[in-house]
A and B are shown apart, each in its own frame.
Chain A
Amino acid sequence: MSTSLIANVVIAGVLTGLVYGLMALGLSVIFGVVRVVNFAHGEMMTIAMYAAVLLFGAFRLDPLLAALPVAALFFALGYALQAGLINPFITRPEHSQFILLVAVATILTNLLLMVFGPDARNVQTDYMLDSWALGQVLFDKARVYAALAALATAAGLFAFFRYSRTGTAIRACADNHLGALIVGLNVKHLYALTFGLGAACVAVAGCMMTLLVEVAPSVGPSYTLLGFVIVIVGGLGSMPGALLGGVLIGVSEALAGLFIDPSAKSMFSFGLLILVLLLRPQGLLGRRP
C-alpha cells in the first residue's frame, strides 16, 4: 500500500472530520449550556440535508449557499423547540428528557419518510468530481469547500461566545445557573438562543454533508450516535474538543475503511469512545466536572 494512498485517505478523513466536528459542535454547545443531551441531533441534520437537496433540485442552489437560509430557518426552529418544549424539562430527570427528544426524533424521521419515501437522494454539483493535485496527493474540491465552510462557521461561533455580550451571558448561564438568575439574566431566552445556535450549526453541517454523501430518512439515528461519539471523545461541552473529536473520528473511520473493512468503521469509533470514557471520562479537551 503506497504512502500516497494513505495520505489521500487521511486527508479525506480530516476534511470529512471537520464537517462531523461542526455537527458535533452543535450538540456540544447545547449540552454545555442547557445540560440536555439532544437525542434528535442526527435527525435534525438529516432534515437540513433534505433542505439542501430540495433547494438544489428546485433552484440549482449550491449547498454552500443553501447553508445560509437553512441555518436561519433552523435557528428559528431550534429557538422555538427549546422555548416551547424543552425549557419545562430542564429541571426534570435525564430519562424524562431522553424520552422527550426520542419522541421528537421519531416524529422527525418518520415525517421525512412519509414525505420523501425511503430512497436515497443526493446533490450533483459540477465540481464534485474535481480535485486539486499536489504531487501524488489529491484534495477533493467538494471536501475542501465543505471543510472550509465548517471551519468558518465554527470560528464565527467561537467569536460569538468569546466577544459578544450575549455570548458572554450564555457562558455565564453555563458556568453558574443560579448566579445567572441572580444577576437578572433571562436564562430561558438564553437557553433557547443556544439551542437555536446549535441547530444552526447542525444545519450548516447538514448542507455540507450533502456534498460528501447521499441522504435517506433512515440515516438520522446513526448521525446522532456519531455526534455522541465525537463530543465524548473531544469532551462534552468543550467547543474545540468537538472539532478535534470530529477530525479524530473522521480519520479513524477513513483508515478503518482502508485497512480493515468499510462496514467495520464505526466499530472503531465506538471502541475509541469506550476507551476515552474509561481513561479520560471528561474527554480529551474537557474539564473535570
Chain B
Amino acid sequence: MSREARAGALLAALAAALAALPLAANSYLLSVATLVLYFAYTGQAWNVMMGFAGQLSLGHSLYVGLGAYAAAALFTKFGVGPWAGMWLAMALCVAAGVAIGLLAFRFGISGVYFALLTIAFAEFTRIGFDHIAWLGGPGGLFLKVEGRKTFDLANLRGGQTMFYYVMLALAAGAFALCAGLLKSRAGYYWRAIREDEEAARALGINTFRWKLLAVAISAAMTSLAGVFFAFYYNNLFPEQIFHISQSIEIILGPIVGGIGTLFGPILGAAMLTTLADALNNLVAAMGWDIPGVKQVFYGVILLLVVVFVPNGIWPPLAKRLGLGRGD
C-alpha cells in the first residue's frame, strides 16, 4: 500500500468507528467522546494559525467566548437560532481576529510579543464582558434547558447523541478543510512563512496578507466551537469562557499530538481528554477527593510529554505506521 492509501484506510476506519460509536456507547462515554471531538476541533482551528503559519496565539478563548456569546445572545434575546446565529459569531470573530492581526502585523509584532498581545486582548474582553449587564455580567448568561428527549436540530436543543453527531460533523469538516488548506497555495505560503518569514518575503510572498488569512480562518473555525459550547452547556460565564485556562486547554491537544500535523490535534485531544477523565475516576475511586490532585497529575504528565516527546506524539507514531513524516 502507498502512503496515501494507508493514511486513507486509517482515516476511513476512524470515521466509521466514530460514526458507529453511539450504537455501542452509553451517554457518559458519549459525553467524553463529544469533549474529545470538541478539543480535536478547536486544536485543529488553532493549528491553522500556529502549526501552519507559525503565529503563536495564547488567546483563542477570545474567539470561543465571542462566538458563544454572539449566538447565545441572538437566541435568548431575539429568538434567532444557532444556524443563523453562527454567521454573526463567525463574522464577529473574523473581525476581531483581523483587527488584532492588522495591528500586530502592521507594527511588526511577532513571537513572544504577539503571543502576549493575544492574551491581553482575551483578558481585556473577559473583564469587559464582566461589565456588560445586558449579557448577565459575571452572573452569566443562560439558555433555556429542554428535556433530554427533545430533538430539535434547528435550535440545537436535544440529547447527547445529537450533540455528538454535530461535533463529529464539525471535527470532520475541520479535518477536511485543513487537509485542503495544506495542499492549497495558502498552505504552502504559510509553511514558507513559518519556516523563515524573511525568506518568504524575499520570494515575493505578501506575508502580511497570508498571515491575516490564517488568523481569519482560525478565528472563524474557533467561533463555531463557541456556538457549540453555548448550546451544549447552556450557560456562559466570562470568567470561564474567556479565561486563559480555556486558551491553554485548546492548545495542549495539538502540542501534545504534534504541531502542524493533521492527525496531531485529534490524537492529542483524545489522549488528554481521556487522561483527564481517567484521572477524575481514579481520584474518586481512591478517595483522594482533595482539590488539586488531578491537576497535579495532569501537570506532571504534560511535563513528561514536553520533555521527552518535544515534537508531539504523532510524528514518531506516523513513522511507525509507515505514514511518512506525519503531516
Chain A residues packing against B (C-beta within 8 Å): 37, 85, 88, 92, 94-96, 98-100, 102-107, 109-114, 117-118, 217, 221, 225, 228-229, 232, 236, 261, 263-264, 266-267, 270-271, 273-274, 277-278, 281
By beta carbon, the residue of chain B nearest A229 is B120
Residues of B within 8 A of A37 (CB): 112, 116
Are the C-beta atoms of B302 and A273 separated by less than 8 Å?
Answer: no
Partner among B58, B113, B299 whose Cβ is within 8 Å of the Cβ of A104:
B299
By beta carbon, the residue of chain A nearest B108 is A281
Are the C-beta atoms of A99 and B252 separated by less than 8 Å?
Answer: yes
A85 to B300, CA, bound (A): 13
Q: Is B33 an interface residue, CB under 8 A from the partner?
A: no
| 9 extra interface residue pairs, beta carbon distance < 8 Å, beyond A103-B303, A264-B130, A277-B116 | A88-B307, A103-B302, A105-B299, A110-B293, A111-B296, A112-B292, A114-B296, A221-B245, A229-B120
Are the C-beta atoms of B292 and A110 separated by less than 8 Å?
Answer: yes
Are the C-beta atoms of A104 and B303 separated by less than 8 Å?
Answer: yes
Q: Is B266 an interface residue, CB under 8 A from the partner?
A: no
| Dominant SS among interface residues on chain A | helix
Partner among A85, A103, A273 whose Cβ is within 8 Å of the Cβ of B120:
A273
Are the C-beta atoms of B111 and A107 separated by less than 8 Å?
Answer: no
Residues of B within 8 A of A111 (CB): 292, 296
Q: Take A232-B113, A281-B109 as given contacts and tell me if A99 and B295 are in contact as well, using a CB distance cutoff of 8 Å.
A: no
Residues of B within 8 A of A102 (CB): 248, 302
Min C-beta distance of B257 to chain A, whole Å: 12
By beta carbon, the residue of chain B nearest A88 is B307
Are the C-beta atoms of A270 and B50 separated by less than 8 Å?
Answer: no
Q: Take A99-B252, A270-B123, A273-B120 as given contacts and tell me if A113 and B302 are in contact as well, using a CB distance cutoff of 8 Å.
A: no
Partner among A103, A109, A236, A278 whose Cβ is within 8 Å of the Cβ of B306:
A103
Are the C-beta atoms of A94 and B130 separated by less than 8 Å?
Answer: no
Q: Take A95-B259, A110-B295 as given contacts and tell me if A263 and B119 are in contact as well, using a CB distance cutoff of 8 Å.
A: no
- What 0/1 readout, one digit per residue, does chain B (276-306) give for beta carbons within 8 Å of chain A? 0000000000000011110110111011001
Q: Which 10 A-B pairs have the closest CB atoms?
A: A113-B292, A106-B299, A110-B292, A107-B299, A110-B295, A267-B127, A103-B303, A103-B302, A114-B292, A270-B124
Min C-beta distance of B137 to chain A, whole Å: 10
Are the C-beta atoms of A94 and B56 separated by less than 8 Å?
Answer: yes
Q: Take A99-B252, A114-B292, A264-B127 as given contacts and tell me if A107 and B116 are in contact as well, using a CB distance cutoff of 8 Å.
A: no
Are the C-beta atoms of A109 and B310 separated by less than 8 Å?
Answer: no
Are the C-beta atoms of B58 and A98 separated by less than 8 Å?
Answer: yes
Residues of A within 8 A of B121 (CB): 270, 274
Within 8 A of A (CB), among B91-134: 103-104, 107-109, 111-113, 115-117, 119-121, 123-124, 127-128, 130-131
Q: Is B244 an interface residue, CB under 8 A from the partner?
A: yes
Are the C-beta atoms of B310 and A95 separated by less than 8 Å?
Answer: no
Are the C-beta atoms of A107 and B56 separated by less than 8 Å?
Answer: no
Residues of B within 8 A of A94 (CB): 56, 111-112, 115
Residues of B within 8 A of A281 (CB): 107-109, 113
By beta carbon, the residue of chain A nearest B124 is A270
Min C-beta distance of B87 to chain A, whole Å: 28
Are the C-beta atoms of B124 and A267 separated by less than 8 Å?
Answer: yes
Q: Take A94-B56, A100-B306, A267-B128 as given contacts and tell me if A110 and B103 are in contact as well, using a CB distance cutoff of 8 Å.
A: no
Q: Is B255 an interface residue, CB under 8 A from the partner?
A: yes
Partner among B117, B255, B290 whose Cβ is within 8 Å of the Cβ of A274:
B117
A283 to B251, CA, bound (A): 28
A100 to B248, CA, bound (A): 12
A100 to B252, CA, bound (A): 11
Residues of A within 8 A of B310 (CB): 92, 96
Are the C-beta atoms of A225 and B244 separated by less than 8 Å?
Answer: yes
Q: Take A100-B303, A225-B244, A270-B127 as given contacts and tell me if A277 and B255 are in contact as well, using a CB distance cutoff of 8 Å.
A: no
Residues of A within 8 A of B116 (CB): 37, 228, 232, 273, 277
Min C-beta distance of A166 to chain B, whole Å: 26
Are the C-beta atoms of B255 and A270 separated by less than 8 Å?
Answer: no
Are the C-beta atoms of B131 and A264 separated by less than 8 Å?
Answer: yes
Residues of A within 8 A of B128 (CB): 267
A-B contact pairs, 13 of them (CB 8 A): A85-B307, A95-B50, A95-B255, A96-B255, A109-B292, A112-B292, A113-B292, A114-B296, A225-B244, A261-B131, A270-B127, A271-B124, A277-B116
A273 to B123, CA, bound (A): 11
Are the C-beta atoms of B300 and A107 separated by less than 8 Å?
Answer: yes
Partner among B112, B124, B244, B306 whose Cβ is within 8 Å of the Cβ of A99:
B306
Are the C-beta atoms of A266 and B127 separated by less than 8 Å?
Answer: yes
Min C-beta distance of B4 to chain A, whole Å: 29
A274 to B248, CA, bound (A): 21
